[in-house]
Structures are given as structure tokens and as C-alpha cells.
Amino acid sequence: MKKIVLAYSGGLDTSCAIKWLGDQGYEVVCFIADLGQKEDFDAIEERAKAAGAVKVYTKDLQEEFIEYFIIPSLKASAVYEGGYFLATALGRPLIAKYLVEIAHKEKASAVAHGCTGKGNDQVRLEVTTAILDSKLEIVAPLRQWEFKSRDEEIEYALAHNIPIDVTKKKPYSIDRNIWGVSIEAGVLEDLEREPPEDAYLMTKSPTHATTYPKYLEVYFEKGIPKKIDGRAYKLRTLIEQLNELGGLYGIGRSDLVENRLVGIKSREIYEAPAAVILHTAHRELESLVLDRELAHFKQGISLKYAELIYNGLWYSPLKSALDAFINITQKRVTGTIKLKLFKGSCVAVSRQSAYSLYKKELSTYGKEDEFDQRLAQGFIKIWGMPYQR
Ligand code: ARG
């Protein structure tokens, strides 16, 4: 019998996929990736088995996700189209890596996922799988099967005793991990509507957030966050704490009409409190320690880096080459940024670094000024010379 490894979430789609793949003649092994989505993984494992999985692997991948995916994206200042910190997109290559690994271990000939044929995630999972082992067959039940609606899937599940939670009405499609949550579908598809408050999971509404500000110091070493308010934390704890705190102050929401790789524009809302706090602090620190040429050049790299993540090219030669560049830029990104969180805004109020290139004696308008203003005249003459008529 052919064996297949399915990336399993515990939801309706992938639960039906277990049975459906079985009907296509596969023995189904499920893989559940814990990327910090805060679910009852024992219950999900049980559900997979009840739906017909012959074996279930559950792996806590959070540490690996943070160290090898989130942190590089933070160093790179990777943000897609100005408001998406790429939580979902960053998780996919890691999930694919383990699909391939488990397929090898189980001597399976195929892998499967529960993505639709309209999104970016199918691309990310399949491109990564093919990069890591092009011989593996890839099956995407949702692109092939006969069900035309969620109701038909529910009927199928009930008819085959696939355990599902039909009582829970599901107004949105949600993907969550430790770096943030992506929320789409339902009323969000109507661009003229403000997202309803009940769509948000991690953040308080800025309108109802605490009415006094919170000050917070983040210390970075070579571009990596190490301390909050002077106390050292493991990255996982640090991110969890910032999600919690940022959420209370209404930090981290965004509402985007974005360009999908498959050519569709779609509306999605995001919540990423820790990501917003850390990206803000990191950017502020860079503005202190990177010289103009490097800073401006890096902006272009950041855009490219975000695009590579979004478009599923994490394991590409260009991505490795950009990492080498970015790591050099981070050598001096060490220092402390104090932020003020208040009703959805997150701004720097104090900046410190031993590598700071800011020289008060040059920028001051006070009497300590050491900048020789007489030199400016000649500089301007030569600078503008090529353009004179
Ligand atoms: N638009 C985001 C991306 O392409 C998230 C996709 C998944 N979103 C979801 N709600 N299931 O990365």
C-alpha cells in the first residue's frame, strides 16, 4: 500500500482529507506541527486517529521556528506590502521540511496538505517539498475532491464518522502561530466593511485599550532581541510576553488588501503584537548604527527578502545569499530602544547604542557645534555642478 504524510491541523478540511486519501488507496500518516498556535494537541491527535490515520506525529517546532525563520526575518526587516509580518508564510517551509523528513522515515512515497488551489500556502509547501525531495508525489485533496461547499464536507464527515466540531460556527479562516495570526474570509471579503471586533484574537481594540501608556525597553545584540526591561529571556518567552503585552495595548493589527502570488488580490487582517514591537525597536536601533549607504541599500534587500518568503522561496540560493549580507549588517545592531505603547501605537522614545553613529556635536544647533559650516559652501558647489546650466 502506498503511504502518504499529511500535514494535519485538526480542522474540517484536513480531517476529511484523511478519509478521502484513504479512499484513494493511501495509508495516511498525519503530521501535526506545533508552531505556537495554542491548541489541544492531544485532542487533535485523537481526532486524526479516529478519522483513520495509521500514525500521528506531533512536533513542537517553536524553537526552530523562532531561531531559523522568525529571527532571520526580523534581522532582514521583512514585511510584506507594508503590513504583513509573514507569520503564516514563514511557517510553511518549516512544515514542509518535516513532511519530507517524516516521509523519508516512514518510507512514504507522497505528502499531502489541506491548502486550497487559490492561495499562497500550496505554493510554499509544494515548492519547498520539491526543493528538498523532488521525487515525492504531492497530493492536494482540496484542489481535486468533489465537495463544493463546507456543508458538503460536513455531510461527508458525518456520514463517515469523522469527528468534527460542527457546533462551532466558523465565520473566518484563521491561521495562527507564535509570530501572529492571519484572518480572512466571511465578512472580511467585503472591502467596504470595517473588520468586526470579533474577528480579532490576540489584541484588544485600540479604542478600548488601557488609557495610560506603557514604557518598555528592548535590548538587542547583533540584531537579536535579548532582554526586556533589563531582564534576559529565552526568545520564546520574550515573544510570548510581547504578544501578551502588545495585545493589551492594541498593538499589532493590520488590515491589508494584498497581492497573492497566484494573481488574486485578497483582503486579510493580521495581528502580530510581538512582531510589531520587535520590528519597530529593531528598525529604530538600525537607524542609529547603520550608515546611510548601508541603511538605504538594506531597504531594497528587505523588500526582496519579504517577497521571497511570501512567494515560497525560503530554500533558494538567493535567500541564502541575502542572509549573508544581512548578517553582516547586524554586526553593530546592539543597543537598547525604549518604546511607548499606547492605544495601538508603538513608538520609540529613547535610543542607546555603543555603536551609535549619531554625533550630537555635529547635529546640534547649540553652541557646542563642531560642524564647520564654512565647508558646506564648497560641498554644495561641487555636488550641484553637474546639473548647472
Ligand atoms: N495571506 C497570508 C499569506 O498568504 C495568510 C494566508 C492564510 N490565511 C488564513 N487565514 N488561513 O501568507
For residue 284, the model assigns a pLDDT of 98
Whether residue 174 has its Cβ less than 6 Å from ligand 1: yes
Whether residue 184 has its Cβ less than 6 Å from ligand 1: yes
For residue 257, the model assigns a pLDDT of 98
For residue 191, the model assigns a pLDDT of 98
174-290+332-352 fold: Argininosuccinate synthetase, chain A, domain 2 (3.90.1260)
- The CA 175 to ligand 1 mean position distance, Å, reads 7
Query: What is the C-alpha separation between 60 and 47, in angstroms, rounded?
Result: 18
- The CA 54 to ligand 1 mean position distance, Å, reads 29
Question: For ligand 1, what atom is nearest to the CA of residue 87?
Answer: 12
Residues of the chain with CATH 3.40.50.620: 2-79+87-168
For residue 131, the model assigns a pLDDT of 98
Pairing, β 253-259 against β 265-271: antiparallel
Whether residue 284 has its Cβ less than 6 Å from ligand 1: no
Ligand 1 pocket, mutate which of 79, 172, 175 (most atoms under 8 A from CB): 175
- The CA 162 to ligand 1 mean position distance, Å, reads 26
Q: Quick one: DSSP state of residue 70?
A: I
For residue 165, the model assigns a pLDDT of 78
Coil, strand, or helix at residue 268? strand
Query: What is the C-alpha separation between 108 and 27, in angstroms, rounded?
Result: 9
Whether residue 131 has its Cβ less than 6 Å from ligand 1: no
Angle at 111 between CA 122 and CA 311, to 5 degrees: 25
Query: What is the C-alpha separation between 365 and 50, in angstroms, rounded?
Result: 73
Q: Quick one: DSSP state of residue 269?
A: E
Q: Out of 3.60.9.10, 3.40.50.150, 3.30.70.1520, 3.40.50.620, which CATH number does the structure's domain 2-79+87-168 have?
A: 3.40.50.620
Residues in the chain with pLDDT < 50? Answer: none
Who's near 285: CB < 8 A, 6+ residues apart?
Answer: 220, 333, 334, 335, 337, 351, 353
- The CA 200 to ligand 1 mean position distance, Å, reads 15
Question: For ligand 1, what atom is nearest to the CA of residue 258?
Answer: 1
Q: Tell me the pTM.
A: 0.97
Whether residue 182 has its Cβ less than 6 Å from ligand 1: yes
Nearest Cα residue to 56 out of 88, 33, 22 = 33
For residue 168, the model assigns a pLDDT of 62
Nearest Cα residue to 289 out of 323, 347, 229, 336 = 336
Residues of the chain with CATH 3.90.1260.10: 174-290+332-352
For residue 164, the model assigns a pLDDT of 87
For residue 268, the model assigns a pLDDT of 98
pLDDT in tens, 116-125: 999 999 999 9
